[in-house]
Amino acid sequence: TLPFTGKTAFVTGGSRGIGAAIVRRLARQGAHVVFTYQNSGSDAEALAASVRAAGGQAHAVKADAADAQALSAAVAEAARVTGKLDILVNNAGIFLPGAIDDFSLADFDKTLAVNVRAVFVAIKAAVPLMPSGGRIINIGSTNAHRMPFAGAAAYAMSKSALSGLVQGLSRDLGPRGITINNVEPGPVATDMNPPTGDFADLMHGLMALPRHGTGEEIAGMVAYLASEEAAFVTGAGLKIDGGFAA
């Protein structure tokens, strides 16, 4: 049998990019995957349909991560089928750039609402539904450790907030047999971070492996952390960044 047969997984922001690769990977390995989107309804439905066409189980739910009620309801909906939730992947995230002089408080609040508060909200909704062996995986960023460009301070702050969150929550959740970790990618080719252009070249110049990663590479580390094999990994941030922060 596949490693995630009989497991239910919930992935935020699964319609595009890294989240979509995570949905495909967990479903291919047997999980029943419920994932959220905000605006990309047709991408989300197409992804769910292609997973089902390949014999997997996936289901898309519209839920703005910044809306605590909608997000909590989506988590509950994910557990409705099996009565439990085994794997939570907090992937939805936004990058709003801007130098300090122009950066609005509205953008600051939005960055925190999606990148940090939503992670806490989803975890709070998921934990009562998680059996021993449960897995919580957040998509952080190598920018929690190295932010070599101006205009990205709020984003970097939001991702380093997740480091403290998993360290603290590993202590709350360890006694229940639940692990919690951050996967911390470097540049990954998505709509958020296109792999060509001057800025891409600049980033490659900082890396030991001068290229963008793929969503599939990130999904591989998520699948490892979600697996039985990773039972002793908790409270950690695992960089997967081509040496960006090395």
Out of 4, 35, 37, 155, which one is annotated catalytic? 155
Task: Please say which residue, 2 or 49, places its beta carbon nearer to ligand NDP.
Answer: 49
C-alpha–C-alpha distance, residues 161 and 115, integer Å: 9
Task: Please say which residue, 62 or 133, places its beta carbon nearer to ligand NDP.
Answer: 62
Sign, CA dihedral 155-114-28-131, equals: positive
Which parts of the chain are beta strand (E)? Answer: 8-11, 32-37, 57-62, 87-90, 135-139, 179-185, 236-240
Q: How far is CA 126 from CA 32, 185, 222, 235, in A?
A: 15, 24, 17, 17
E strand or H helix at 29: none
Buried b (16+ CB within 10 A) or exposed e, 166-189: beebbeebeeeebbbbbbbbbbbb
Nearest approach, Cβ of 138 to ligand NDP (angstroms)?
A: 8
Nearest approach, Cβ of 115 to ligand NDP (angstroms)?
A: 6
Nearest approach, Cβ of 87 to ligand NDP (angstroms)?
A: 16
Residues in contact with ligand NDP by CB under 6 A are 12-19, 36-40, 64-66, 91-94, 114, 139, 141, 185, 187-188, 190-193
Which parts of 63-133 are beta strand (E)? Answer: 87-90
C-alpha–C-alpha distance, residues 36 and 14, integer Å: 6
Nearest approach, Cβ of 176 to ligand NDP (angstroms)?
A: 26
Task: Please say which residue, 29 or 36, places its beta carbon nearer to ligand NDP.
Answer: 36
Task: Please say which residue, 101 or 191, places its beta carbon nearer to ligand NDP.
Answer: 191
Catalytic status, residue 155: yes
| Residue written as token pair 């992947």 | 89
Task: Please say which residue, 133 or 200, places its beta carbon nearer to ligand NDP.
Answer: 200
Nearest approach, Cβ of 226 to ligand NDP (angstroms)?
A: 16
Full DSSP string of 139-156: E--GGGT---STT-HHHH
C-alpha–C-alpha distance, residues 3 and 31, integer Å: 8
Residues with a known catalytic role? 155
